[in-house]
Structure 1
Amino acid sequence: MRKILLVALLACCTVASAQKTNNGFFGGKEEGWFWYKDPREAQVKPLPTPAPEPEKKETPPAKEPEKPKEEKLSAFSVKWIRENLDKLRDIAIDDPTPENVRNYYYAQRIMLDKADKFATVAKQVVTSDPYLDENNNYPFATAARASITRLQNDAKKEGLKHLAGKAGLWFFFDSKCSFCSMQVSTVNHLAQTYGFEVKAITLDGKTLPELKVPVVRDQGQFKTLNLTITPTLVLAVPPKTFLVISQGVLSDSAADERLLTVAATQKLLPSEISRQIDVYSKGVLDPEDMNSEEAKALRDDPKAWVEYLQTRLKTKY
């Protein structure tokens, strides 16, 4: 009996406790047998609402590039003449009616009259501007030209004598060479007229008649200088510069000119003598004058670049 009472008492306590907490099986009796809940259901998050796509703006059609406006030619302008004169001539030749021929000759008359007016003004401008008047560079008058020529010849002689004091000449020859014998007079001329110290170098160990300069045997100089034929003249400039003047026969005047040309190229002469020799260089602009940074900056301003050229030309006289 006592056991029965004890079991009943425990059952009552369990029921009371379940009803009080409302968490037991009896508290969820409305759910029936489907009381189990999956814990993952509480963790499921709603999917984010996709953002609306941006509206596509319609691109306006591209504008067609504007066609350049055709330049209207002024009647009787140089450009008009250039474009029409040949056409008018061809028309007149193909169909030589009085009207077509007259049209061509009137167009030609316009061109000739323009050229005449240009020549008149050009003459006035050139003769009044010392930097444009070529008579100031090299005079046109016969007497003046003769005087300039005499001064130029004197300067050439002075230049060759100056060069003879700074350099010597090597004369390569072979006694069997007929042209070498012809060159002897020129070699003597350079030595006696200007004072060049000439060393005659024989390739076969023999000398030449009429040769009035010291003769030495070739010690390999001919091959070292890559020479190929005789007679040969070489300008020897101390300490180690050798300049070939000619390989072959030269006259006296031709030898003088070649020596002066080499001297000018190598800048072996004083500038004053060089200017007197090269009379045509007076008043001539150098490439450095026209390619300077200052000149490039003035290309779009005619007044500025004319003044620039006048300033440069002033130093050339």
Structure 2
Amino acid sequence: MKLLMMTMLLIAAGVASAAGADQEPATYWRGSTWTDPDRGFLWYAPPKPAKEEPQDDPKAAPTQRYEQMTNKQLGKEIERLLDIAVEQQSPAAVKEYLFLQQYAMDRASRFSDVFRRTVWTTPELDYSLRSRPTNAMAINTYDVERDSKRIAVSAQLAQTHGLFFYFRSNCPYCHQLAPILRMYQRSSGMEIFPVSLDGGTLPEFPNARLDNGSAENLRVTTVPAVFLANKRTGSIQPIGYGVLSLQELVERIYVLTSTQLGQEY
């Protein structure tokens, strides 16, 4: 009998322990599942409530809530706060929008500063070293060197190439381009082949030849038109239509014959 009593006491102690530290053994045995829903059932204590995830502190500095955002997320948040500010018309909503806008501008400024510092210290990334410089003193030197290179290319091409000049005698733009082509011929030595589409001539080119069908083959529908022809291979490529200045003429011939696509653009 004593052994049985000891066993019952041990079982009771175990049940009280399993019921949870928050429930007294005597209270547990006096309670009822029907009157106390939190009492537990069959000696099992009710599960502990899940811990709530910490929420953002509304009193925290606004920038702390935005530091982990990507640019895309930041842009969407700015649009959202702007919509709220416009809709509510309240100082609090406007203030929150302005805080975020200011933070976005500050972050963009910091990136811009890092960007320029990186370019300054990495010559491979400095576009001004690969193309036209931005420094005023360097620009003058670059322009002089560039013009000399282009003139040299025209003089070199003059040995193997010539220019076809298609015109009409009643075309005012053809009359404007004719003296420019004469200037180019004198400076570079390149031969000019004037071709008249209407049988007339120009003062600068009194010995122009009548078109024999080459204009149709080259699809010349607009005059004046200038083509660069290789005397050795017979290849022809258009240089331009309409009035071109002397500098434009030299530039186009150089780019089309001596540079790769995107090299000096």
Question: For this structure pair, what is the TM-score category when the shorter chain's length is used for normalisation?
Answer: 0.5 to 0.7
- d(CA) in 2 for partners of 1:253 and 1:98? 60
| 1:204 CA drift (Å) | 4.6
Matched, 1:114 2:104: no
User: In the alignment, which of 194, 208, 229 is matched to residue 215 of structure 1?
Assistant: 208
Q: In the TM superposition, what are the counterparts of 1:69-88 in structure 2 within 5 Å?
A: 75-76=65-66, 77-79=68-70, 80-88=73-81
| 1:198 CA drift (Å) | 1.6
Q: In the TM superposition, what are the counterparts of 1:7-156 in structure 2 within 5 Å?
A: 75-76=65-66, 77-79=68-70, 80-137=73-130, 138-156=132-150
| 1:209 CA drift (Å) | 1.8
| Gap regions ≥5 residues in structure 1 | 1-72, 264-268, 282-317
- d(CA) in 2 for partners of 1:245 and 1:122? 40
Matched, 1:184 2:178: yes
- d(CA) in 2 for partners of 1:176 and 1:87? 65
Matched, 1:233 2:226: yes
Instruction: Tell me the amino acid that sits aligned with residue 65 of structure 2.
Output: A
Q: Which has the higher mean CA deviation after the structures are superposed, 188-197 or 228-237?
A: 228-237
- d(CA) in 1 for partners of 2:255 and 2:249? 10
- Secondary structure at the aligned position of 1:117 is classed as helix
Q: 1:145 to 1:86 in 2, by over 3 A?
A: same
Q: Deviations over 1:193-252 (max 9, x none)?
A: 10111222334544322337x533433322332322443322111322122223433332
Q: In the TM superposition, what are the counterparts of 1:151-300 in structure 2 within 5 Å?
A: 151-211=145-205, 215-237=208-230, 238-263=232-257, 269=258, 274=259, 280=264
| 1:178 CA drift (Å) | 3.7
Q: 1:210 to 1:163 in 2, by over 3 A?
A: same
Q: Deviations over 1:168-188 (max 9, x none)?
A: 112233334443333220221
| 1:157 CA drift (Å) | 0.6
Q: 1:169 to 1:83 in 2, by over 3 A?
A: closer
Instruction: Tell me the amino acid that sits aligned with residue 109 of structure 1.
Output: Q
Matched pairs, number: 197
- d(CA) in 2 for partners of 1:280 and 1:261? 8
- d(CA) in 1 for partners of 2:195 and 2:255? 24
| 1:150 CA drift (Å) | 0.8
| 1:147 CA drift (Å) | 0.7
| 1:280 CA drift (Å) | 4.2
Please give the root-mean-square deviation of Cα atoms over the aligned residues, in Å.
2.9
- Secondary structure at the aligned position of 1:75 is classed as helix
| 1:189 CA drift (Å) | 1.5
Q: 1:243 to 1:279 in 2, by over 3 A?
A: closer
Q: Deviations over 1:44-67 (max 9, x none)?
A: xxxxxxxxxxxxxxxxxxxxxxxx
Is the CA contact (8 Å cut-off) linking 1:152 and 1:279 kept in structure 2? no
Identity %: 25
Q: 1:252 to 1:91 in 2, by over 3 A?
A: same
The residue that corresponds to 1:56 in the other structure is none
Larger radius of gyration: 1
TM-score by length of 1: 0.53
TM-score by length of 2: 0.63
- d(CA) in 1 for partners of 2:173 and 2:233? 30
Q: 1:253 to 1:116 in 2, by over 3 A?
A: closer
Q: 1:227 to 1:140 in 2, by over 3 A?
A: closer
